[in-house]
């Protein structure tokens, strides 16, 4: 077995220890304990130990189970859509921006019915997130935060009018995959309008990753914990790359 | 109680300034109505139901009048006229006006006095309906025990009202005192209230009159089973603020999220529309005995909770002044605030306690609503649970009235049954274990907590002075609250604001404002 084969690490190498918590629609008792144990076994936990069994409603019981997961993952077999961007410092971004000779226009919004601006605000607003100031604070960027509940049509219109280099879409609400539908609809709209390839399309949110964003037709996806600097670096690199392609040697 | 020093003279000045700010807005409120207010009046008179496309009759009726440019007369004028002309019921009158080709023009022979008389018994019936629901609520409540403060408030938000009912009963069993059904995202921007029970919704479940009924009935059932009264709350906000207040009043809800400025700031609803709608909604709420929860907690999710703490206090004074103008008593004013300071800042807990204690003392008769951390929550549920525990400790120490419990899965999903169960278990433990902690000591008069409390009052006074000088319209346009800027005529719903005609007829409002006597019952 290669050393790339990983099992959950609890107390000792390879012990596979994990915890699992859940509720079942059964009242506490020996039957319920056995049900929880079998439920855990069905998830690949060996010798599961039901450490908590408490009644949580008139018909439900809450369980915590510890057990040894028999499963492992071979990391050498994993291929992930890694973001191309290198980690740049704020100064490096500002310098590269100066070289570019113009401000990069970024337009962001929470689209559809999503009213939660916390994500888009964290990335775009001056104040930023975790002590990292947002794109508004960069000289290299001209950032426009359109706020919440912006329809795709409106976002596309504003982005086009502002001459956006990049469109940032934040999707927090994910019930029944509405975030995917919304995002894909924006991509399709831009394709239909014929300018999808002229703009960077970025997706962010707690349930977003790069792979998902790519599958929805976006250029990149940013998940939870993303700081503005990462987004800034990615946009800058991509814009520079695209400018180079667009105007090869013509001077 | 571990008190902080409060300068009563400064607090009195804050209140006087806030009263002035609200008075300035009242002149606009008194001169206008909105399509939302008129739909509420129609519903209160008994207009109900929706067509096959789901358009409520209240909307069809008011849209017809609005389309003819006659909203300024009030829906009461036209209903009264149709009744006077022989309509057998309000419902029939509404259908005639909406679909039956009844004129919505004003004739030379119009006789407003007769129309008002034709409405009189319906006006009484509308108020009796609110009063009866209030009596029923108070009767049930007094026949059962109620939980100790801080009251434990939890949310359910499955999108399906029947799942909500299951979750609500489970929450009650696990110890919650108040259950809120979170609304479907963006319902606040719908200019109508959907009809009937609903089973599909993103981020929550639609607020409909039928859904209110389903949850109240589930909570009545579990309340009786547990011998403890469990309260129900929903959202009187957005473009249907006053319609929902009326539905809640007659369906026996106990609380409503209702804020004088929330819609303006966080949903970009027009300023005038919001102020007018909040007034009528609160007139109904005052009559029904419902407790409002204001939304100042939201300020701290967009602005910094350390630097902008005073904006919360200033807004609470303003919300109090508006509520007072609408006839609410302090015991109905659940002014809101939140535990949203960056938990990794040194002494963040002390800052939170200072503000919570200050607000407790300034609003001593008010059922203060205290909101949990959300902004700094991450997917680390175990740390999140600890963060909530500190919030709970601050809540019981400062004797908050209503505590919306934090969920360790806050940053992940709407709460699962077990998330809520564990949250309630933790609150039960901490509220019990530290029940009398606040009685046992005094904060150092010149210590960190006391000084922080003093600074917040000073800054709030300064802010209110500015807002009073500039007016609330200008201040909101300048981004004073929550760092959000809105203009007087901007935002959604402004087209639904109409200047009242000299003949404006709203007999229900007349009674609610104490300007008209109800007929003897």
Confidence of residue A250 (pLDDT cuts 50, 70, 90): very low
B108 — pLDDT class (breaks 50, 70, 90):
confident
Buried b (16+ CB within 10 A) or exposed e, B247-269: bbbbbbbbbbbbbbbbbbbbbbb
pLDDT at A3: 60
**What pLDDT does residue A1 have?**
44
Q: Looking at CA atoms only, how far is residue A22 from chain B in angstroms? A: 7
Given this model, what pLDDT does residue A171 score?
Answer: 86
Task: Indicate the domain borders of chain B.
Answer: 147-452
- Residues of A within 8 A of B409 (CB-CB) are none
Interface check B128 vs A, CB under 8 A? no
Confidence of residue A166 (pLDDT cuts 50, 70, 90): very high
Q: CA–CA separation, B322 vs B325, rounded Å?
A: 5
The mean pLDDT value for A129-141 works out to 83
Predicted confidence band of residue A176 (pLDDT cuts 50, 70, 90): low
> What's domain A5-76's architecture?
2-Layer Sandwich (3.30)
Q: Which residues of A touch B185 (CB under 8 A)?
A: 113-115, 173
- Terminal alpha carbon distance of chain A: 57
Distances (CA, A) of A97 to A163, A173, A251: 17, 34, 19
Residue B520 has pLDDT above 60, yes or no: no
What pLDDT score was predicted for residue A2? 47
pLDDT for A247: 52
Catalytic pick from A46, A99, A103, A127?
Answer: A127
Res A244: pLDDT: 74
Other C-beta atoms closer than 10 Å to the C-beta of A84 total 12
Top residue of A22, A24, A115 to mutate, by most chain B CBs within 10 Å, is A115
Whole-number percent of chain B with pLDDT over 90: 87
Q: What average pLDDT score do residues B185-203 get?
A: 89
Annotated active-site residue B369? The verdict is: yes
Looking at residue A115, its pLDDT comes to 65
Q: Compute the distance between CA of residue A159 and CA of residue A180 in angstroms, rounded to an integer.
A: 20
CATH 3.40.50.280 fits A90-246, yes or no: yes
Hey, which of A220-234, B299-313, B337-351 has the most confident mean pLDDT? B337-351
CB B337 within 8 A of CB B363: no
User: Which strand (E) or helix (H) includes residue B156?
Assistant: strand B151-156
* pLDDT, mean of residues B223-238: 97
Are B418 and A117 a contacting pair at CB < 8 A? Answer: no
The pLDDT value recorded for residue B29 is: 98
- Give the pLDDT score at A251: 43
**Class of domain B147-452 as given by CATH:** alpha beta
Contact B367, B334 (CB under 8 A): yes
Please compute the mean of the pLDDT values over residues B442-465 and round it to a whole number. Answer: 96
A203 forms beta bridges with: A169, A221
Q: How many CB atoms lie within 10 A of CB B117?
A: 14
DSSP B158: -
Q: Cis check for the bond before B6: say yes or no (omega within 30 of 0).
A: no
Does B471 contact chain A (CB < 8 Å)?
Answer: no
Q: How far out from the chain centre does Cα B56 lie? A: 23
In angstroms, the CA B333 to CA B356 distance is 16
The mean pLDDT value for B32-40 works out to 98
Q: Which residues pair with B269 in a beta bridge?
A: B492
Task: Decide: helix, strand or coil at residue A121.
Answer: helix
Give which of B502, B508, B442 is closest to B31, Cα–Cα.
B502
Tens-place pLDDT, residues B352-379: 999 999 999 999 999 999 999 998 998 8
Give the CA dihedral B253, B257, B259, B263, nearest 10 degrees: -120
CA–CA min distance B230, chain A (Å): 15
Distance of CA A211 to the CA centre of its chain: 9
Contacts of B223 (CB under 8 A, 6+ apart): B140, B144, B172, B229, B230
> Is the distance from CB of B174 to CB of B424 less than 8 angstroms?
yes
Give CA–CA dist B288/A15, Å, rounded: 61
3-state helix, strand, coil in chain A (%, to 5): 40, 25, 35
pLDDT (tens digit per residue) in B250-292 = 999 999 999 999 999 888 899 999 999 999 999 999 999 999 9
CB contact under 8 A, A58 and B411: no
Chain A positions touching chain B (beta carbons under 8 Å): 21-23, 54, 56-60, 62, 113-115, 117-118, 121, 127, 147, 149, 173-176, 178, 206, 224-225
Model pLDDT for residues A224-242, shown as the tens digit of each residue: 888 889 899 999 988 988 8
- Across the interface, whether the CB atoms of A206 and B422 are under 8 A apart is answered no
CB contact at 8 A, B6 and B461: no
Q: Please tell me if the domain spanning A5-76 has the same topology as the one spanning A90-246.
A: no
CA distances from A19 to A5, A16, A66, A68, A148 (A): 20, 10, 5, 9, 37
Joined together, the tokens standing for residue B460 give: 């709030």
Are the CB atoms for A28 and A48 separated by under 8 Å? Answer: no
> Picking from A114-118, A215-219, B139-143, B329-333, which range would have the lowest pLDDT averaged per residue?
A114-118
Taking residues A24-36, report their average pLDDT. Answer: 97
Q: Which two tokens stand for residue A249?
A: 């040697």
The answer to whether residue B511 scores a pLDDT higher than 90 is yes
Domain map of chain A by residue range?
5-76, 90-246
- Where residue A227 falls (left for φ over 0; alpha for ψ -120 to 50; beta otherwise) is beta
Say what the pLDDT of residue B192 is. Answer: 96
What is this structure's pTM?
A: 0.84
Average pLDDT, rounded, for chain A: 87
CA torsion through residues B298, B304, B309, B315, sign: negative
SS3 content of chain B, % helix, strand, coil (to 5): 55, 10, 35
Please state the ipTM of this predicted complex.
0.83
């Amino acid at each position: 077995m290669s050393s790339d084969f990983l099992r959950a690490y609890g107390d000792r190498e390879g012990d596979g220890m994990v915890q699992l918590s859940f509720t079942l629609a059964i009242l506490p008792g020996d039957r319920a304990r056995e049900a929880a144990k079998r439920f855990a076994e069905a998830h690949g936990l060996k010798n599961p130990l039901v450490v908590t069994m408490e009644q949580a409603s008139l018909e439900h019981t809450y369980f915590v189970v510890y057990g040894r997961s028999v499963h492992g993952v071979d990391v050498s077999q994993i291929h992930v859509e890694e973001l191309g961007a290198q980690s740049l410092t704020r100064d490096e971004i500002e310098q590269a921006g100066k070289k570019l000779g113009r401000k990069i226009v970024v337009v962001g919004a929470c689209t559809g019915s999503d009213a939660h601006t916390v994500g888009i605000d964290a990335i775009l607003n001056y104040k930023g997130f975790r002590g990292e100031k947002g794109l508004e604070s960069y000289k290299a960027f001209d950032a426009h935060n359109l706020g919440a509940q912006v329809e795709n049509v409106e976002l596309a219109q504003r982005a086009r009018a502002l001459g956006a280099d990049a469109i940032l879409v934040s999707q927090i609400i994910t019930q029944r995959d509405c975030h995917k539908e919304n995002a894909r609809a924006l991509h399709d709209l831009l394709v239909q309008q014929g300018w999808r390839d002229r703009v960077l399309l970025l997706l962010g949110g707690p349930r977003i990753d790069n792979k998902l964003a790519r599958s929805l037709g976006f250029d990149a996806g940013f998940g939870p914990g993303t700081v503005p600097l990462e987004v800034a670096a990615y946009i800058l690199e991509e814009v520079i790359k695209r400018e180079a392609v667009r105007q090869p040697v013509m001077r | 109680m571990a008190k902080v020093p409060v300068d009563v003279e400064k607090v009195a000045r804050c209140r006087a300034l806030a009263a002035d700010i609200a008075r300035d807005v009242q002149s606009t409120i008194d001169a206008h109505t909105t399509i939302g207010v008129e739909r509420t009046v129609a519903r209160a008179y008994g207009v109900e139901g929706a067509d096959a496309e789901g358009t409520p009759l209240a909307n069809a009726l008011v849209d017809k009048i609005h389309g003819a440019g006659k909203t300024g007369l009030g829906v009461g004028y036209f209903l009264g006229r149709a009744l006077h002309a022989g309509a057998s019921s309000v419902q029939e009158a509404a259908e005639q006006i909406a679909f039956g080709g009844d004129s919505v023009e004003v004739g030379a022979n119009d006789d407003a006095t007769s129309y008002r008389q034709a409405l009189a018994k319906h006006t009484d019936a509308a108020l009796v309906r609110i009063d009866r629901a209030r009596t029923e609520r108070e009767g049930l409540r007094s026949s059962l025990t109620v939980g100790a403060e801080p009251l434990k408030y939890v949310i359910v938000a499955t999108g399906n009202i029947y799942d909500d009912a299951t979750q609500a009963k489970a929450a009650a069993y696990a110890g919650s005192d108040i259950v809120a059904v979170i609304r479907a995202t963006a319902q606040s921007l719908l200019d109508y209230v959907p009809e009937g029970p609903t089973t599909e919704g993103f981020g929550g479940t639609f607020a409909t009159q039928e859904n209110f009924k389903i949850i109240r009935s589930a909570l009545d059932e579990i309340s009786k089973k547990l011998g403890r009264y469990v309260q129900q709350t929903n959202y009187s906000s957005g473009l249907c603020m006053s319609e929902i207040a009326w539905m809640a009043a007659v369906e026996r809800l106990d609380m409503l999220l209702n804020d004088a400025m929330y819609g303006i700031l966080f949903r970009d609803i027009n300023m005038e529309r919001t102020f007018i709608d909040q007034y009528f909604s609160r007139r109904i709420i005052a009559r029904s005995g419902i407790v409002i929860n204001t939304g100042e907690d939201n300020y701290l999710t967009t602005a910094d909770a350390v630097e902008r703490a005073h904006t919360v206090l200033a807004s609470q004074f303003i919300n109090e002044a508006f509520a007072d103008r609408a006839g609410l008593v302090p015991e109905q004013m659940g002014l809101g605030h939140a535990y949203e300071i960056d938990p990794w800042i040194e002494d963040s807990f002390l800052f939170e306690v200072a503000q919570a204690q200050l607000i407790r003392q300034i609003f001593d008769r008010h059922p203060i609503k205290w909101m949990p951390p959300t902004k700094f929550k991450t997917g680390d549920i175990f740390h999140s649970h600890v963060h909530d525990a500190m919030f709970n400790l601050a809540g019981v120490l400062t004797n908050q009235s209503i505590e919306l419990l934090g969920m360790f899965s806050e940053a992940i999903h709407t709460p699962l049954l077990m998330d809520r169960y564990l949250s309630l278990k933790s609150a039960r433990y901490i509220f019990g274990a530290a029940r009398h902690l606040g009685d046992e000591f005094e904060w150092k008069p010149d210590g960190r907590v006391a000084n922080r409390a003093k600074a917040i009052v000073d800054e709030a006074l300064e802010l209110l002075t500015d807002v009073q000088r500039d007016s609330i319209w200008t201040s909101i346009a300048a981004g004073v609250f929550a760092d959000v800027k809105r203009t007087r005529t901007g935002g959604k719903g402004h087209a639904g604001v109409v200047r009242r005609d000299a003949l404006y007829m709203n007999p229900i409002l007349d009674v609610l404002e104490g300007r008209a006597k109800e007929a003897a019952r």
